[in-house]
Amino acid sequence: MVPDRSGLLISFEGPEGSGKSTLIAALTDVLGVAGVVPLVVREPGGTRVGERIRDILLDADLTELLPETELLLMVASRAQLVRQEIQPALAEGRIVLCDRYADASVAYQGGGRSLGVEAVHRLNDYAVGDAVPDLTLLCLLSPEQGRARIHARDPDRLERENTAFHDRVHAAYRELAESGDPRFRVVDASLDPQDVLDQALAHLRNLEHELLSGL
């Protein structure tokens, strides 16, 4: 945990179709019953500036957007979110639930776009600073399962990428899961929503943080 902050930052990562948003909504309800109202934010986005950037990044018509531009836009949205929303909330002692965060760029731009993780880490360090998650839940399932889940909806620019791209994203997330960093905890996202929620709650309880004492 980052010193001198009383809040708790939990990020949620995973490939397309991994059910992160569903899990965050369920956790928000459980925390609410326990008397805790978390700050829920998303990446890219989470601020007025970030949402404008999100519109660009996910615009399926912008086929000419370069990988390097994509990465820099992602990091710009992240820098705004950290300073405007996340850092103040952590200083106030709140729980922050973030739907994607810095590790998404490691997977999508570092892995999926083949830009390399070192360049991504350098930019993330600048954007995030000390606002490192206390826990990152990696919601993982096979690329085939993920594609099947998003098949019925109108795909955005990233969802429309080819199979090779999404396979690289999935492999990058697997590398994070196997990195040995205790911040990462894997959730089997192929299961039904209740089982996914139960896994996430078990990981949260293991933090033994006073903000989670009511769980």
Examine the pLDDT at 170 and tell me if it is beyond 80: yes
Q: Give me the residue label for tokens 């996910």.
A: 58
Task: Note whether residue 106 is domain-resident.
Answer: yes
Task: Note whether residue 95 is domain-resident.
Answer: yes
Examine the pLDDT at 128 and tell me if it is beyond 60: yes
Task: Note whether residue 1 is domain-resident.
Answer: no
Per DSSP, the three-state class of 164 is helix
Q: How far is CA 100 from CA 46, 164, 213, in A?
A: 11, 21, 25
Say if CB 11 and CB 78 are below 8 A apart: no
**For residues 4-19, average pLDDT:** 91
Could you write out the DSSP letters of every residue in 21-79? HHHHHHHHHHHHHTT---EEEESS-SSHHHHHHHHHHH-TT-TT--HHHHHHHHHHHHH
**For residues 23-35, average pLDDT:** 97
Task: Note whether residue 71 is domain-resident.
Answer: yes
Task: Note whether residue 131 is domain-resident.
Answer: yes
Examine the pLDDT at 150 and tell me if it is beyond 90: no
Please report the pLDDT score of residue 3 as a whole number.
43
Task: Note whether residue 3 is domain-resident.
Answer: no
State pTM to two decimals: 0.94
- More confident of the two residues 49 and 17: 49
What CATH number is given to the structural domain containing 18?
3.40.50.300
Environment class of residue 208 by beta-carbon count within 10 Å: exposed (0-12), middle (13-18) or buried (19+)?
Answer: exposed
Examine the pLDDT at 48 and tell me if it is beyond 80: yes
Task: Note whether residue 33 is domain-resident.
Answer: yes
The residue range of the domain holding 117 is 8-212
Examine the pLDDT at 160 and tell me if it is beyond 90: no
208's tokens: 């033994």
Please report the pLDDT score of residue 2 as a whole number.
43
**Predicted confidence band at 156 (pLDDT cuts at 50, 70, 90)?**
confident
Task: Note whether residue 2 is domain-resident.
Answer: no
**For residues 150-176, average pLDDT:** 88
The tally of domains found in the chain comes to 1
